[in-house]
Structure 1
Amino acid sequence: MKKQLLPNFPPGPLDRYRNLASFDWRKLKLFIEPAEIVEFKNEIVELLKGNPAFHPKKLETLDDVRRDASLQMHEGFYLQEFKYLGMLDNLRKVPAFGEIAVWSNPSVSVKNALNNSMYPSVIRALGTEKHLDLIEKVWQGEHFGCFCLTEIGHGTDTKRMRTRATYDKESKGFIMHTPDFEAAKCWAGLLGQTATHAIVYAQLYTPDGTCHGLHQFVVQIRDVKTMQPLPGITVGDMGPKIGLNGIDNGFLIFNNFHVSRDALLNKNADVNEEGVYVTPFKDANKRFGASLAALSDGRINITNLCNAYLIQGLTIAVRYAAVRKQFGPDGNEIPILEYQTHQHRLLPYLAGAFTFKFFSLHVCLEQHTTFVNNLNGKQREDAVEYGFEMHGISSACKPVISWFMMEALNEFRQACAGHGYLKAAGIGDLRNDADANCTYEGENHVLNQQTSNWLLKFWPQILEGKIIKGPMESIDYLSHGKEILADKFAVDSVEHIIRPEYILRMYKWLVVYLLKSSYEKYERSLKEGNDAFWAKNNNQVYYARSLSVAYLNHYMLHIFLKRINETEDPKVRNVLERLFALYGLFTLERSLGHLYQGGFFVGEKPATLVQDAVLKLCGDLKNDAVSLIDCIAADDFLIKSFMGKSDGKVYEHLQNELMGGEGNMSRPNWWKEVLHWGKQSKL
């Protein structure tokens, strides 16, 4: 008999809130993810449950953790016969797969993304036919690949990388060399212990001594049979980290190491046998930009992964809040979810999770569809405009969502109080593993600046009255920038301010105001004698950084509202509109200074209405919180917390943890030393 797609949850303490929900959780669940995606995720979970490699186990050493992660990467849904399960036939499965991977083991999800996705996709995007067999060998498990861009002395400033690849006419190949330790490649996942091959970014020199800038090479670094480094290669591990220790991040040093001419990924540039550099790009910056295109894909995927972390933390914190009781009127204790302060600590982040969910599904589908079409030779007609806009979106969404996620996870840890500090609560490990998302694939503040630099070019176009339009619809409203900036706050009730259209109207004003202010400050700085570098650098705090955040928040809400308008069930629509309004107003409240500074808000009333609306929405969503979590939560098998199970039996699960924990009920093996110390102290 086929298992029910969405079975009832087990009875327990959470029934109190499930029975109070204003909507049918199954209808919302299937609106977010259609039945075929739910079925796909269920199938993966069943596979994991049936494979011992994915069952919880005690891992005492770093080596244990690494071995476990490696086994998991090659077991279960990572096996060749199951890999991607026809995901290219339904691209909605790609973010679903990524979500399950994070919930199963964050380290494994990253290892899999690097080896099975990023490494082969860069080869496919930047290599030619002669490199395609390298992709097959990865998918057949013969090679393990990694991505080496960052160096000890340089990370985000990629153009300053110092690893060299010098063409040697005599051997018809390249000599890879690391001039000193600061030029060593570092932090590459799988490099430390696992990778046999690496995509290495190096400065390409031709025999005449000319440096042609950063290029990509596929380099074998270990013997595929012995896993020992090849002569001329020094490779090692970065050591224990504060999280994601299942990933063997490593460093790499070349000592005049020879590779063949075919090691160069030569789609965008090549060196012929005589050592002459050839490229179809007249502008070196455009060639360089094309070489980093894979990083935009990575940032889009990271937004989906960040939301998976956020959902996992929310599941633990909200379900615990619905069960944990403290104080109350008439001597009766009440769940802490009933307290306004606790609602305000959790529910805006729940609203954020739904906002991010719809946004990430939208942009991931758009990006994956474009990628697959490119593979099939179907280039977008608006490819250039799409590339610029997607770069702006991806450079803003990773910072906004990863910062929000880390803020939320820290709040969840504290909201779960003492029990939340236990490792078995799961929040600490979740927080430590999630933290890296703020750094890899581009440091957040630098990424933010890339978005603001792109947006600044639109202000002169606004003044000239030009039509501004993007394939992703994230900038179209800027065409009306002058009219938007003339707008003023014009509502007098909470009921009015929570309307989605009005929240978007306020956000449009905020974006245009910050765009104008950032541009004018930049121009003033230039007139004061600063060069463009310092003018942009000194424009970030209060202005350009806030511009990127506001731009992305508006766009996410724009996508969210489009999806809301597709709902047919009025109860589902109602709860989604409340989530929309809560995220919109919660984040707008953080910009009260700009809203007053620019004259959109005047007097006490606007800020009071925003704050009153946030609290009202928290109260209105309180009874729906558990069922909203039910729509997006992981299966119990993947919830590594005694607090977050769907049965709500927090104390029963905690008792099992405490009573069954190794060493919890026995004296330590060093008990005699304590007694000995006590006798000594009395002398």
Structure 2
Amino acid sequence: MSAQRVAVLQRQLQATIPAGEASSSALQPQPTSAIALRQLPRFDVTLMEHFLDNQLALKAEVYELFRQHPELLVAEEEGMTKEEHRELVRKCLRVILAAGFSPMSFFARDHAKYFNLAELLSLVDLSLTVKLGVQYSLWGGSVINLGTERHRRKYFDDIDRFRLPGCFAMTELKHGSNVAGLQTEAILDVHTDEWIVNTPDDGAIKWWIGNAAEDGKMATVPSPDGSGALDDHGVHAFIVPLRDDGGALWPGVEIHDCGYKVGLNGIDNGAIRFTSVRVPRENLLDRFATVDRSGRYSSPMTSATKRFAATLGELTGGRVGLTCASVGVLKGALTIAVRYSAQRQQFGPPDAPEVAVLDYPSQQMKLMPMLATCYALYFAKNKLVEKYCEMKRTKDEVLVADVHTLSAGLKAYTTSYTNTAIGICRECCGGHGYAARPAASSLCTSSADIFQTFEGDNTVLLQQVAALLLKEYRDSFRGSPLAATWSYLKVWAQDSLPANPLVTHETDVSHLRDPAFLVRALRYRSARLLHTLAARLRKHSRRVGEFTAWNKCLLHVLALSRAHIESVMLVEMLAAVNACVDPDCRRSLKALADLFALDRIYTDITFRNDDYIAPEKAKAIYRLIEALCGEVRGVAVPLVDAFAIPDHILRSPIGLSTTSVDPYSEYLAAAGFDS
């Protein structure tokens, strides 16, 4: 019986592993007697890295900076108090500024570099990444994007050099994502030419405000109050002082520390109560609306709805930054898990070497689809950054709506996916993945988890995506022009027709890996969900009203938004495949794109419920997924090597880029064993 089980195991093992690549390709295990699959060609890791990253100089500069300052590379899990962690984050930020970096200039003039910096710093310390986002994207971004040139001249340099730490004080104790429901009041006193900012009750206390507990000297405070000059004009933002230069609280300002959190304790989150705090009339951030000395209101926007959309639209940078940081964390977690699985030997045939964990199909089916998804998210993230930069340059209204939706959807999808993937990567590293030091922050979900909540709760953001999809869908029936992003809605009538029976049953590998089939399938799913959601909403709205109808269809709404984002991811992944000049790199990228799409098609019951995929075709897809996992396994280590995360940044003995150092030596030294 034992011999029979060994024989079964041997048949399950994948292909002979190709000889190693440069750098951590040495982690490839010794060849086994597994059944051979078609192998992907070995590619030049440096070529892949250069294809992925067009800001290599920035990466080298940032990572070298922290190599020179190893005292700053301390994992949050290593027992720091929140006060110690906050001071460490401040030191990191000061070192970055002292090295000549200007985050505020990046955010104002070179957005791609700013978001790249956020992604790079995510593997140094997520608290540092968030501190950067709070200071420059939220506080600084609100000043330069919602204010006028007068505000920029007054505050820009001090914000940039961290001489003026600030906050974006939006979230209230009882009102988080519902910005229109915020209660904080701002009333103009025309006699003193001042705004009176007030917290009317405990539910309106500003809560979870980053930079507030210790550092913040000023805050941008959104207020939707309809009193006085702002009557019926919607949400507006004000600069409100919190502390003087000596650190004493401003009159009328009360701040308390929110205390320890399950992660990101390097951020000083605080709760703020305003009691009739007086600020000058000029502290209204008045790019979209202004109030004169007499209290007369004026705005270039024709309605409160447009002003509200424009105000929130200028804050999408925070979502883009979180998307970039989440991709950075995902790359780190997969680098550790793949390298560890490639070098960790476990079990094997009698009288034969043990087998690398990554050679087991069970490990491949966990890690390879995630690696494919990571690449897809990376290219989709790049497209989002590109669109954001174009939006800031052109101010095109269609592009503003496009970026708003894409940033909401990708932020929600990426942060949720990353949080789940980290847990699976930790599991794939066994007990060693549970140790704080060997895993560093890349296998710890506590800090990344909150990304699902701030800058917009993911469930709320996905509803925003669905709402715009529905709007575009309805507009298409009214003959309105559609933006390029939604162009596939134009072919809804064609794609919604029953699938050709021959195609439904087609199982040939060339068909299953045909980009036309894969794109059409994922777009079919999005279009199908959109069509049925619109029909359900119409039916329920007649009986129970729009709010209840939406609530009854909420799970359908979320499914539609995720499906749409996955179709966007596939399109961007295939665009990257076509743009890749090196044929060996291109073949690996194409395998990843196929694996990503086929995994989504197989796991979504929609395709089988609609007879889009016949049972025998579903079985063929599953077999192909297994085969692709085996193929990608052969190049998995160089694929994570192409992320080019240095060992001193990854800080994970089980994920080292070379086997020249025993990955267990650090364990032994920490426990007191002699080397």
Both proteins in one fold, TM over 0.5? yes
Distance in 2, matches of 1:398 and 1:103, equals: 18
Distance in 1, matches of 2:366 and 2:656, equals: 21
Report the alpha carbon displacement of residue 59 of structure 1 after superposing the two structures with TM.
Answer: 5.3
Name the structure 1 match of 2:550: 536
TM-aligned CA distance change 1:16 to 1:66, over 3 Å: farther
Name the structure 1 match of 2:639: 628
The answer to whether structure 1 residue 512 and structure 2 residue 527 are counterparts is yes
Distance in 2, matches of 1:125 and 1:388, equals: 17
Distance in 2, matches of 1:642 and 1:112, equals: 28
Name the structure 1 match of 2:100: 81
Name the structure 1 match of 2:6: none
RMSD: 2.5
Name the structure 1 match of 2:360: 339
Name the structure 1 match of 2:249: 229
Name the structure 2 match of 1:554: 567
The more displaced of 633-642 and 201-210 is 201-210
Asked if structure 1 preserves the Cα contact closer than 8 Å seen for 2:489 and 2:527, the reply is: yes
Asked if structure 1 preserves the Cα contact closer than 8 Å seen for 2:167 and 2:212, the reply is: yes
TM-aligned CA distance change 1:654 to 1:468, over 3 Å: farther
TM-aligned CA distance change 1:183 to 1:584, over 3 Å: same
Q: Which deviations, in whole Å up to 9, do the C-alpha atoms of 1:412-459 show, x marking residues without a partner?
A: 111111111111232666311111111111111111111111111233
TM-aligned CA distance change 1:67 to 1:626, over 3 Å: same
Name the structure 1 match of 2:212: 191
Distance in 2, matches of 1:294 and 1:199, equals: 14
Name the structure 1 match of 2:472: 458
Name the structure 2 match of 1:576: 589
Residue of 267, 270, 293 corresponding to 1:250: 270
Equivalent position SS for 2:485: coil
Amino acid at match of 1:446: V
Q: Equivalent residues in 2 for 1:60-139 (5 A)? A: 60-75=80-95, 77-79=96-98, 81-84=100-103, 92-132=112-152, 133-139=154-160
Asked if structure 2 preserves the Cα contact closer than 8 Å seen for 1:494 and 1:613, the reply is: yes
Amino acid at match of 2:85: V
Name the structure 2 match of 1:673: none
Report the alpha carbon displacement of residue 285 of structure 1 after superposing the two structures with TM.
Answer: 1.0
Equivalent position SS for 2:664: helix
Distance in 1, matches of 2:205 and 2:475, equals: 44
Residue of 34, 46, 49 corresponding to 2:64: 46
The answer to whether structure 1 residue 522 and structure 2 residue 541 are counterparts is no
Amino acid at match of 2:43: F
Residue of 364, 380, 384 corresponding to 2:397: 384
Name the structure 2 match of 1:657: 667
TM-aligned CA distance change 1:85 to 1:539, over 3 Å: closer
Report the alpha carbon displacement of residue 649 of structure 1 after superposing the two structures with TM.
Answer: 6.0
Report the alpha carbon displacement of residue 16 of structure 1 after superposing the two structures with TM.
Answer: 5.7
TM-aligned CA distance change 1:287 to 1:10, over 3 Å: closer
Name the structure 2 match of 1:200: 221
Report the alpha carbon displacement of residue 12 of structure 1 after superposing the two structures with TM.
Answer: 5.0
Report the alpha carbon displacement of residue 89 of structure 1 after superposing the two structures with TM.
Answer: 7.8
Equivalent position SS for 2:654: coil
Residue of 451, 458, 463 corresponding to 1:449: 463
The answer to whether structure 1 residue 433 and structure 2 residue 452 are counterparts is no
Residue of 184, 192, 200 corresponding to 1:179: 200
The count of residues paired between Structure 1 and Structure 2 equals: 637
Name the structure 2 match of 1:600: 612
Amino acid at match of 1:562: A
Equivalent position SS for 1:200: strand
Distance in 2, matches of 1:337 and 1:232, equals: 60
Q: Which deviations, in whole Å up to 9, do the C-alpha atoms of 1:217-275 show, x marking residues without a partner?
A: 01110112x21211211012111111111111111100111111111111112222222
Name the structure 2 match of 1:677: none
Equivalent position SS for 1:134: helix
Distance in 1, matches of 2:88 and 2:71, equals: 7
Report the alpha carbon displacement of residue 306 of structure 1 after superposing the two structures with TM.
Answer: 0.9
TM-aligned CA distance change 1:459 to 1:113, over 3 Å: closer
The answer to whether structure 1 residue 324 and structure 2 residue 313 are counterparts is no
Equivalent position SS for 1:187: strand
Distance in 1, matches of 2:157 and 2:143, equals: 11
Asked if structure 1 preserves the Cα contact closer than 8 Å seen for 2:330 and 2:421, the reply is: yes
Report the alpha carbon displacement of residue 162 of structure 1 after superposing the two structures with TM.
Answer: 0.8
Report the alpha carbon displacement of residue 79 of structure 1 after superposing the two structures with TM.
Answer: 2.9
Equivalent position SS for 1:199: strand
Asked if structure 2 preserves the Cα contact closer than 8 Å seen for 1:413 and 1:427, the reply is: no
TM-aligned CA distance change 1:80 to 1:185, over 3 Å: farther
Name the structure 1 match of 2:436: 423
Report the alpha carbon displacement of residue 628 of structure 1 after superposing the two structures with TM.
Answer: 0.2
Report the alpha carbon displacement of residue 618 of structure 1 after superposing the two structures with TM.
Answer: 0.3
The answer to whether structure 1 residue 142 and structure 2 residue 163 are counterparts is yes
The answer to whether structure 1 residue 165 and structure 2 residue 186 are counterparts is yes
Distance in 2, matches of 1:521 and 1:85, equals: 46
Equivalent position SS for 2:255: strand
Report the alpha carbon displacement of residue 167 of structure 1 after superposing the two structures with TM.
Answer: 0.9
Distance in 2, matches of 1:522 and 1:625, equals: 45
Name the structure 2 match of 1:353: 374
Unaligned runs of 5+ in 2: 1-20, 32-38
The more displaced of 111-120 and 501-510 is 111-120
Q: Which deviations, in whole Å up to 9, do the C-alpha atoms of 1:27-86 show, x marking residues without a partner?
A: 21111124xx223211221122113552448653221111111111111x2337232598
Distance in 1, matches of 2:105 and 2:340, equals: 37
Equivalent position SS for 1:236: strand
Distance in 1, matches of 2:188 and 2:297, equals: 10
Q: Which deviations, in whole Å up to 9, do the C-alpha atoms of 1:538-585 show, x marking residues without a partner?
A: 1121x2211111111111111111121112222111111000011111
The answer to whether structure 1 residue 619 and structure 2 residue 633 are counterparts is no
TM-aligned CA distance change 1:342 to 1:180, over 3 Å: same
The answer to whether structure 1 residue 501 and structure 2 residue 507 are counterparts is no
Distance in 2, matches of 1:486 and 1:367, equals: 35
The answer to whether structure 1 residue 643 and structure 2 residue 654 are counterparts is yes
TM-aligned CA distance change 1:140 to 1:656, over 3 Å: closer
Distance in 1, matches of 2:376 and 2:124, equals: 23
Residue of 285, 306, 309 corresponding to 2:326: 306
Distance in 2, matches of 1:89 and 1:173, equals: 33
Report the alpha carbon displacement of residue 92 of structure 1 after superposing the two structures with TM.
Answer: 4.5
TM-aligned CA distance change 1:164 to 1:211, over 3 Å: farther
Report the alpha carbon displacement of residue 601 of structure 1 after superposing the two structures with TM.
Answer: 2.5
Amino acid at match of 2:491: H
Asked if structure 2 preserves the Cα contact closer than 8 Å seen for 1:13 and 1:649, the reply is: no
Report the alpha carbon displacement of residue 318 of structure 1 after superposing the two structures with TM.
Answer: 0.4
Name the structure 2 match of 1:679: none
Asked if structure 1 preserves the Cα contact closer than 8 Å seen for 2:133 and 2:321, the reply is: no
TM-aligned CA distance change 1:427 to 1:617, over 3 Å: farther
Name the structure 1 match of 2:51: 31
Asked if structure 1 preserves the Cα contact closer than 8 Å seen for 2:573 and 2:593, the reply is: yes
Distance in 2, matches of 1:9 and 1:317, equals: 17
Unaligned runs of 5+ in 1: 1-6, 374-378, 667-683
Asked if structure 2 preserves the Cα contact closer than 8 Å seen for 1:190 and 1:247, the reply is: yes
Asked if structure 1 preserves the Cα contact closer than 8 Å seen for 2:370 and 2:421, the reply is: yes
Distance in 2, matches of 1:615 and 1:427, equals: 31
Asked if structure 2 preserves the Cα contact closer than 8 Å seen for 1:312 and 1:633, the reply is: no
Distance in 1, matches of 2:473 and 2:40, equals: 49
Equivalent position SS for 2:23: coil
TM-aligned CA distance change 1:170 to 1:550, over 3 Å: same
Name the structure 2 match of 1:674: none
TM-aligned CA distance change 1:321 to 1:649, over 3 Å: farther
